Chain A
């Protein structure tokens, strides 16, 4: 077929509406949402993937969160408020996924131990131990306040204090205190669950 007339994708729809421009509030809202999406999508997916342990699931959650954001134009006036809302909702959704995945992960780990017992290929032990450590970290993160887990994950990804403050909706000067308390809480819970030192 020589002519392909394809459907209009949402991004094109957005571009068309932006190109049709004018300075209506709706257009400004679309442009604002587009900027937020492109700035934070990858970071939100990365954080959720580390939390839930599943890249595909992280992308689904992120898309859902951004859809919710698109339906809340009232948030558009304050960029910091929007960013804080975005990460808070994303982390809460990630926590839900983390909890729902916990049972499945335990079954998979048990199956992994069983397969290791049957046949021990090279490197399987290291993989199993690494997965076990990751599961422990996720368990402890899941027991923290979502805000603390969010802070630890984003800091571990290398975000600066200014960016952390924006994602949490707090002042940059408060990040150090919040971070120190989150780390102390993580260490305390980790020791309580798994004993020994970190």
Chain B
């Protein structure tokens, strides 16, 4: 008769977690060793009873949704990324704005309506043809909200109850803007800052 096996090996044998070679050797040993066979039987019965009880605890439904990785980044990194995202969004908005709207106008109070009659004869003549050319739409542009210096543009549908106004410089052009940051640390509204 070969040497007897340990309790851990007998338990692993119950779960077929021993290497294949050891599984065969232990099986052969159990055929000849009554104490080991009895011990194996006890371990198997105990394991089945305990696992049956523990299995009563309901398994949760499969966790298929994994929430965002809960990394607590430093405030500097957080703001840098937020500013980067806002800069990208604003750059996109600038590119997609209708051509008839002068980009400089975003930084100034809204211009008078185009349909208004030319105010006076002494208006510089060279300005008017330029304006008239811009009236002709070259392409249909999507209707997008216009960022103006005097108004905040809401970035979500949540009401802003309190927050802190932070001034940032966006993009390579360092366009100045005010951002209202809520108590949750996220930007809720933005406005451009005109050069006054």
Asked whether, in the complex, the Cβ of A156 is within 8 Å of the Cβ of B8, the reply is: no
Interface assignment of A118: CB less than 8 Å from any CB of chain B:
no
Asked whether, in the complex, the Cβ of B93 is within 8 Å of the Cβ of A3, the reply is: yes
Asked whether, in the complex, the Cβ of B63 is within 8 Å of the Cβ of A42, the reply is: yes
Contact segment of A31-39, A81-89, A99-107: A31-39
Interface residues in B59-99 by Cβ distance below 8 A to A read 59-64, 66-73, 77-78, 81-82, 84-86, 89, 92-93
Name the residue on A nearest B45 (C-beta).
Answer: A198
CB distance from A154 to the nearest CB of B (A): 10
Chain A residues within 8 Å of B47, by CB:
179-180, 183
Interface majority SS (helix, strand, loop, mixed), chain A: helix
- Per-position 1/0 for B9-24, Cβ under 8 A of A: 1111001010000000
Also in contact, A160 and B17, with CB within 8 A (given A9-B68, A11-B69, A133-B56): yes
Interface assignment of A30: CB less than 8 Å from any CB of chain B:
yes
Asked whether, in the complex, the Cβ of A70 is within 8 Å of the Cβ of B62, the reply is: no
Complex Cα gap A53–B56 (Å): 11
Asked whether, in the complex, the Cβ of A3 is within 8 Å of the Cβ of B144, the reply is: yes
Interface assignment of B183: CB less than 8 Å from any CB of chain A:
no
Asked whether, in the complex, the Cβ of B70 is within 8 Å of the Cβ of A66, the reply is: yes
Asked whether, in the complex, the Cβ of A2 is within 8 Å of the Cβ of B145, the reply is: yes
Asked whether, in the complex, the Cβ of B59 is within 8 Å of the Cβ of A157, the reply is: yes
Chain A residues within 8 Å of B68, by CB:
9-12, 14
Asked whether, in the complex, the Cβ of A67 is within 8 Å of the Cβ of B72, the reply is: yes
Asked whether, in the complex, the Cβ of A174 is within 8 Å of the Cβ of B8, the reply is: yes
Also in contact, A13 and B73, with CB within 8 A (given A38-B66, A161-B12, A176-B7): yes
- Per-position 1/0 for A42-53, Cβ under 8 A of B: 100110011101
- CB within 8 A of A134: which of B57, B89, B155? B57
Most chain A Cβ neighbours within 10 Å, of B67, B145, B154: B67
- CB within 8 A of A7: which of B57, B63, B82, B142? B82
- CB within 8 A of A176: which of B11, B145, B154? B11
How many residue pairs between the two chains, A and B, have CB atoms under 8 Å in the bound complex? 174
CB distance from A70 to the nearest CB of B (A): 5
Name the residue on B nearest A48 (C-beta).
Answer: B60
Complex Cα gap A38–B12 (Å): 29
Q: List 12 A-B contacts (CB under 8 A).
A: A3-B92, A11-B69, A50-B58, A70-B72, A130-B56, A137-B57, A161-B12, A176-B9, A180-B8, A183-B47, A187-B49, A198-B46
A residues near B (Cβ < 8 Å) are 1-14, 16-17, 30, 33-34, 37-38, 41-42, 45-46, 49-51, 53, 55, 58-59, 63, 66-67, 70-71, 130, 133-134, 137-138, 141, 152-153, 155-157, 160-161, 173-180, 183-184, 186-187, 190, 197-198
Q: Which 10 A-B pairs have the closest CB atoms?
A: A177-B8, A11-B68, A176-B8, A176-B12, A7-B186, A42-B63, A198-B49, A176-B11, A49-B60, A50-B57
